[in-house]
Amino acid sequence: MPERIVSVGGNAEHPRLRTRIRGLDRLLDGGLLAGDAYLVSGGPGTGKTTLGNQLAFQHAAAGESVVIFMLQTEPHEWMLAHLGGFSFVRPELLNRRIHYISLLRQIETDGLPGVLQSIQAAVREHDASLMVLDGAGLVESNRDSAASFGRFIRDLQARAAMLNCTCVLLSSRSVQPVLDPHVDGVIELDLEPVDARDTRWIRVAKQRGAKHLMGKHEFEISATGISVFPRLESMAGKTPPEPVETENRLSTGVDGIDRMLGGGLIEGSTTAVFGTPGVGKTLLSLQFLGAGATAGETVLHATFHETEAVLLATCERLGLPHGDCLRSGCLRVIWEPALERSPDGWAWRVLNAVDDIRPTRLTIDAFTDVARMFAIPQRQTSFGVAFSNELRRRGITTLVNLELDSFVSQTVDFPVPRISPMIDTGILMRSVELNSSIRRMVSITKHRKSWFDSAIREFTIEHGGINVGDRFEASKVLTGSAEAGLDS
């Protein structure tokens, strides 16, 4: 029997057949509804065959029996050779719990009634709880009439339900309008060019009896098979954080910045650190994390730049005591290169790490790299709000770095539009030119529900870290090209 699990919508009346494909069950409200018929449609190369076979092998690995009916001219040995690079393929399951059967000859000689009889007999023989029909469009193209094909699908559904067997049809997008009225669910796969790269999308267009997630979601095909990344804002951030009135402040690790913030960052808040290249954003992140780690907290640094070894060398070079925290593991590092990847995949990895490690503090270096991943840039604000809400809900105090593109500029253009809803505090670290030298400035641009020092202050990077000095007496500092004041 399929495993009975509670759906996302809280409905356990209809048993679910879990796909066990990473992220897909979240889209499907817990899984496929047992005994129903589903259509997986898409163009060439979108991943239909990979999805169908991954579903079959993982179902078989869980102890269930699966039959894959081949309705194409390609022998299943060739198909398995093409799939051999995937880790989900387990040859020991072949002809034991997973069975490949070609129906091409039955289509040609016996038509749809013969195909239906062969399917029913094989499902009974192997006591299968899942059947996959690869090439369902070929059945449709060999039908005598649209009416006879409709009867075939209805009869297939009825017999599958009677045998408690879930049916998955793999077909091209061109025949989806013909198949759609006769199935209980439709999963669409797309491969779409975005600038110089291709993006894979999955969409649950239809699922009777379930509250599936709407819209398009990114997925990838790697050595482990298909991984689906539900759009963060479609799932996360909808449960508001519990209103916690706290006076607790967390030190940034820099005394001068703590004083500018009225004692430090509010516990559970999200802070954006805007800064020009090389101004000291990563160093501030390290000092913020180190302040917690040296006090016995577990802290987490998610980065696209410096690896743990590079961060350790930085701490030793600047005389920071945080190297011991890196070695002991109370300061954890998640590093991955900022290459072509899904922003949702990255966000779920960070949230899963937060749930596993349970840190008190999190730093992200830098959210600007995440912003560059979006195939649809308009999502950045809603994504950021959902992500920060999930961190607040977990009680994490977060420091997010955002890099300003211009080293020196007449304007300050924030890299993520409409970022204010996702942050509680804003810290601007800026390089400015004055009298033929580069000076570093820090100011607080926002500090929700708290007093803060509005002065622009100069800071230096010394042995031991960041040192904040007095108010910088100059004008036009935020333009990057300051003009000397009376006391400068």
Whether 119 is covered by a domain: the verdict is yes
Task: Look at residue 242 and tell me if it is in a domain.
Answer: no
Q: Are residues 384 and 346 in the same domain?
A: yes
8 Å CB contact between 306 and 336? no
Query: For residues 390 and 355, what is the distance between their CA atoms, to the nearest angstrom?
Result: 11
Average pLDDT over residues 458-467: 93
377, 413 contact by CB (below 8 A): no
pLDDT of residue 147: 63
User: Residue 338 above 90 pLDDT?
Assistant: no
Question: What confidence tens digit (pLDDT) does each residue in 226-277 have?
Answer: 999 999 999 876 666 666 566 789 999 999 999 999 999 999 999 999 998 8
Do 44 and 172 lie in a common domain?
yes
CATH code for the domain of 332? 3.40.50.300
State the pLDDT at residue 202: 97
Compute how many other C-beta atoms are within 10 angstroms of the C-beta atom of residue 458: 21
User: If we measure between CA atoms, which residue out of 300, 294, 292 comes closest to residue 251?
Assistant: 292
> What does the DSSP 8-state code read for residue 93?
G
pLDDT (0 to 100) of residue 50: 95
Q: Give yes or no: residues 167 and 39 share one domain.
A: yes
Q: How many CB atoms lie within 10 A of CB 277?
A: 11
Q: What is the DSSP letter of 250?
A: E
295 & 156 share domain: no
Q: Is residue 274 part of a domain?
A: yes
Among 183, 201, 230, identify where a domain stops: 230
More confident residue, 471 or 486: 471
pLDDT band at 396 (very low <50, low <70, confident <90, very high): very high
With 0-12 CB in 10 A as exposed, 13-18 as middle and 19+ as buried, what is 259? middle
pLDDT at 351: 95
Q: What is the pLDDT of residues 6-45, one digit of tens each?
A: 344 444 567 889 999 999 999 999 999 998 999 999 998 9
Indicate the residue type of 434. Answer: L
How many structural domains is the chain composed of? Answer: 2
CA distance 343 to 374: 6
Q: What is the pLDDT of residue 486?
A: 46
Is residue 63 within 8 A of residue 99, CB to CB? The reply is no
> Is the separation of the CB atoms in 358 and 298 below 8 Å?
yes
Tokens of 340: 């072509």
Question: Is residue 106's pLDDT more than 50?
Answer: yes
433 part of a folded domain: yes
Residues 168, 278 share a domain: no
Q: Is residue 377 part of a domain?
A: yes
Residues 349 and 357: their CA atoms lie apart, in Å, by 12
Whether 22 is covered by a domain: the verdict is yes
Share of the chain above pLDDT 90, in %: 52
Q: Do 390 and 277 lie in a common domain? A: yes
Q: Using pLDDT thresholds of 50, 70 and 90, give the confidence band for residue 167.
A: very high
In 220-238, which positions are buried (b, 16+ CB within 10 angstroms) versus exposed (e)? bbeeebbbbbbbbbbbbbe
Pair 208, 299 in one domain: no
The answer to the question of residue 306 being in a domain is yes
Predicted confidence at residue 73, as pLDDT, reads: 59
Q: Based on the fold, state whether residues 299 and 381 are members of the same structural domain.
A: yes
What is the maximum alpha-carbon separation in the chain?
Answer: 97
Which pTM does this prediction carry?
0.84
Average pLDDT on 410-429 reads 75
User: Hey, which bits of 111-196 come out as E strands?
Assistant: 130-134, 166-171, 185-194
Domain of 178? 16-230
What's the CA angle centered on 303, arms 301 and 443, to 5 degrees?
Answer: 80
Are 253 and 224 in a shared domain? no
3-state secondary structure of 80: helix
Q: Are residues 206 and 263 in the same domain?
A: no
211 and 303 fall within a common domain: no
Q: Determine the pLDDT at residue 2.
A: 40
| For residue 5, pLDDT beyond 50 | no
Q: Is the pLDDT of residue 353 over 70?
A: yes
Mean pLDDT of the chain: 85
> What was the pLDDT predicted at 140?
56
Say if residue 153 is in the same domain as residue 301.
no
Candidates 257, 470, 235, 278; CA nearest to 366 is: 278
> Is 236 within the bounds of a domain?
no
